[in-house]
């Protein structure tokens, strides 16, 4: 194992913590271990570190520091944003608008509100590239609509949504707008005012920060429910002693990611497009999933016909390439990814999807290596498959 070359191409799942981020975090374990709520100097040090991180996060997304609330990550932020909005605004209405390609943290929360809280949820369709049509958002807004929640960028196929346009529509209609920006931070410019969002979720480990920490942006004036009772932390809304070192790490990671965004995005886009072009040229019967240009700089998602995703992942893993798939076998159910089905892929093509997501650590040599090994792996698996161009679906 130790001498095996590992090419990590699953940065949409998680990223390595950057050295600078870890260095920023380390003093807050042993040297400065105070509780930010304590009034003594050790506590005040810790409090300053938390507030500094809050400023760093605010700066990165064009917000005010007092609008940033630290959470345990993206899923927590999504759950909190949506449940709180539904509960706080229920006297006004019980209708929520979302899309069919959201992360499960959004979709399952909406399903819960539908089943247990009597909410009505509109799941907007997407086009073949995975884009929501802003006109559909506009048309779906009703008297009782209290929340629109549409992700900024899709985690599977990388498609960017027309968030600013949807934000404008939400603002005009006076409807609260939440966006899951977990994949967007560090990949595309994020500005809460340009986007007109009232709530925005983010997660540190997607941009080379630590796992288990994130934030929810809550625009001044948006009233929120308590997420956790029992303390004055995060303005009484989320009790519990702050995850000090991780919050410091989040602040550092988002500061670096934002400062380096233009150069980073340009380099990722170049690697991405080389990978996409190389795969489409070298392997027949492959399709690109997601929008060709309106996509995350680091996201490649292709469907390789006649083979199944998990087999492909395992063979790639044996060759040292770490990737991901939307096949049923990787989802824990019999259905392939809801995103791939939403863009209109038949099941058998959705089962053969492959996601390669680039990050800071990837180089041209990594792209070369994937382009060298992938065609052979596909050929081997296709030779074992009962499906082929002349026999696409016997059953």
Partner 1 sequence: MYSDKVMDHFENPRNVGELADASGSGTVGNAKCGDIMKMDIKVEDDIITDVKFKTFGCCAAVATSSMATEMIKGKTVSDALALTNRAVAEALDGLPPVKMHCSILAEEAIHAALEDYQKKHPQG
**Interface residue list for partner 1 (CB under 8 A):** 306-311, 314, 318, 327-329, 332, 334, 336, 346-348, 351, 383-387, 393-395
Least distance to partner 1, CB of residue 153, Å:
27
Least distance to partner 1, CB of residue 350, Å:
9
Least distance to partner 1, CB of residue 344, Å:
15
Nearer to partner 1, 256 or 381 (CB): 381
Least distance to partner 1, CB of residue 391, Å:
10
Nearer to partner 1, 264 or 355 (CB): 355
Comparing C-alpha atoms, which of 360, 353, 186 is closest to residue 279?
353
By the 8 A CB rule, do 199 and 170 touch?
A: no
Q: At what angle do helices 309-318 and 364-384 cross, to 10 degrees?
A: 130
Of these residues, 110, 119, 329, 393, which one is catalytic? 329
Nearer to partner 1, 231 or 344 (CB): 344
Dist CA 189 CA 168 (whole Å): 17
Least distance to partner 1, CB of residue 128, Å:
20
Least distance to partner 1, CB of residue 102, Å:
23
Q: Give yes or no: 110 in active site.
A: no
Strand order in the sheet with 68-71: 68-71, 214-218, 199-203, 176-180, 145-149, 95-99, 120-124
Q: Please give the torsion angle defined by the CA atoms of residues 359, 361, 367 and 368, in that order, rounded to the nearest 10 degrees.
A: 180
Dist CA 14 CA 207 (whole Å): 8
Measure CA 21 to chain center: 20
174-212 per-residue burial string, b: 16 or more CB within 10 A, e: under 16: ebbbbbbbbbbbbbbebebeebbbbbbbbbbbbbbbbbe
By the 8 A CB rule, do 216 and 141 touch?
A: no
Radius of gyration from C-alpha coordinates of the chain: 22
Nearer to partner 1, 250 or 312 (CB): 312
Nearer to partner 1, 92 or 347 (CB): 347
Nearer to partner 1, 221 or 386 (CB): 386
Dist CA 299 CA 251 (whole Å): 24
Catalytic residues: 329
């Amino acid at each position: 194992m130790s001498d095996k070359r590992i090419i990590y191409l699953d940065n949409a799942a998680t990223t390595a913590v950057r050295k600078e981020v870890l260095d920023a975090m380390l003093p807050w374990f042993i040297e400065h271990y105070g509780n930010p709520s304590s009034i003594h100097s050790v506590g005040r040090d810790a409090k300053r570190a938390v507030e500094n991180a809050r400023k760093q996060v605010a700066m990165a997304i064009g917000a005010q520091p007092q609008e940033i609330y630290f959470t345990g990550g993206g899923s927590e932020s999504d759950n909190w944003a949506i449940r709180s909005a539904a509960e706080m605004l229920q006297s006004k209405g019980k209708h929520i608008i979302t899309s069919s390609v959201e992360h499960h943290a959004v979709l399952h929360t909406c399903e819960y509100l539908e089943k247990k809280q009597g909410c009505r949820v509109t799941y907007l369709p997407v086009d073949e590239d995975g884009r929501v049509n802003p006109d559909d958002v506009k048309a779906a807004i009703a008297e009782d609509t209290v929340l629109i929640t549409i992700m900024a960028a899709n985690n599977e196929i990388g498609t960017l949504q027309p968030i600013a346009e949807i934000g404008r529509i939400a603002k005009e209609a006076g409807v609260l707008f939440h966006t899951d920006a977990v994949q967007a931070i560090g990949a595309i410019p994020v500005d809460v005012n340009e986007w007109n969002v009232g709530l925005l979720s983010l997660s540190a480990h997607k941009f080379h920060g630590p796992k288990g920490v994130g934030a929810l942006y809550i625009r001044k004036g948006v009233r929120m429910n308590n997420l956790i009772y029992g303390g004055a932390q995060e303005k009484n809304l989320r009790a519990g002693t702050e995850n000090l070192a991780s919050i410091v790490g989040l602040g550092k990671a988002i500061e670096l990611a934002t400062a380096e965004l233009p150069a980073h995005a340009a380099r990722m886009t170049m690697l991405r497009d080389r990978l996409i072009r190389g795969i489409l040229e070298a392997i027949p019967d492959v399709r690109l999933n997601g929008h060709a240009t309106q996509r995350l700089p680091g996201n490649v998602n292709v469907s390789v016909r006649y083979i199944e995703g998990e087999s492909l992942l395992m063979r790639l893993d044996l060759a040292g390439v770490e990737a991901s798939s939307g096949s049923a076998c990787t989802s824990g159910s019999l259905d392939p990814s809801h995103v791939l089905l939403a863009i209109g892929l038949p099941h058998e093509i959705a089962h053969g999807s492959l996601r390669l997501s680039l990050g800071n650590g990837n180089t041209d040599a990594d792209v070369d290596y994937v382009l060298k090994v992938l065609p052979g792996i596909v050929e081997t698996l296709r030779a074992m498959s009962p499906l082929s161009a002349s026999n696409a679906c016997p059953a």
